[in-house]
A = this chain, B = another copy of it.
Amino acid sequence: MADEDFEQVLRAASLRVTRPRLAVLAAVRDHPHADTESVIDAARRELPEVSHQAVYDSLHALTAAGLVRRIQPSGSVARYEARIGDNHHHVVCRSCGAIADVDCATGHAPCLTASDDHGFILDEAEVVYWGRCPACSTARS
């Protein structure tokens, strides 16, 4: 996907097209599950002088528009991914924090229904599978 496509994506979401946003969108697409600092680094490869605040602002705008998804497993800083719209889930390594995608078993949101919703109006079921990644489970613990 080239910058012109990202531009269309931004316009379709009624967002102004700015260089920081294009760089952030590309960074998130190219680095799934990257934390903010990694996104800043990646964005600066394309746009060296971009400020950290512009990246934070862009991530907020893109998240609010639904163009990127923010995830934050317990104990982790915020992470972002560009795979959206399929309500997929994640496996997270308790030891090293590695994250991988897991397809949603049932296909569409909310993919699970609560046994008792306590009167809440639910729109999403987020699943985090906790365990140990292959590298950490073979290493001595």
Could you tell me which A residues sit within 8 Å of B by CB distance?
70-72, 74-75, 78, 89, 91, 93, 100, 102-105, 110, 112, 114-134, 137
A120 touches B134 (CB 8 A): yes
A103 touches B116 (CB 8 A): yes
Cα distance, A103 to B117, chains bound together (Å): 10
B112 touches A123 (CB 8 A): no
| Besides the known contacts A112-B127, A118-B133, 10 further A-B residue pairs in the complex with CB atoms under 8 A apart | A72-B75, A89-B114, A91-B117, A91-B122, A103-B115, A104-B115, A110-B129, A117-B129, A120-B129, A126-B127
> Nearest chain B CB to A81's CB is how many angstroms away?
13
> Nearest chain B CB to A56's CB is how many angstroms away?
14
Cα distance, A126 to B127, chains bound together (Å): 6
Contacting residues, chain B, for A78 (C-beta < 8 A):
74
B120 touches A91 (CB 8 A): yes
A118 touches B103 (CB 8 A): no
Cα distance, A75 to B70, chains bound together (Å): 10
Contacting residues, chain B, for A134 (C-beta < 8 A):
118-120
> Nearest chain B CB to A117's CB is how many angstroms away?
6
